[in-house]
Amino acid sequence: MTATRTVRIGSSHGLHARPAKLFAQAAKDSGLAVTIAKDSGKPVNAASILGVISLAIEYGDYVTLTADGDGAEGVLDTLTELLTTDHDQDAAG
């Protein structure tokens, strides 16, 4: 089963090192093939922190997530929550 979702980035400084690491680790831990693409750009492996950072994703950008395998919707639920949370606000709090 393949699931796709478009998400708006919530971290006020975008998907820089800390939130990108959290996101990539969660994608890797899912055990599924997950990709992330910015706007209509080429998808990259969501489990690759360098791939994720290379997209230069900023606050308010839209990204498309795709997960392939059993439980894909649940994986996208988890990853969506990570992307819509302002991790920079958490760090300041």
C-alpha 84/C-alpha 8 separation (Å) is 6
- Name the nearest CA neighbour of 86 among 23, 12, 16: 12
Please identify which residue in the block is written with the tokens 């975008």: 14
Active site residues: 16
- Name the nearest CA neighbour of 65 among 54, 80, 53: 80
- Name the nearest CA neighbour of 36 among 28, 26, 46, 27: 46
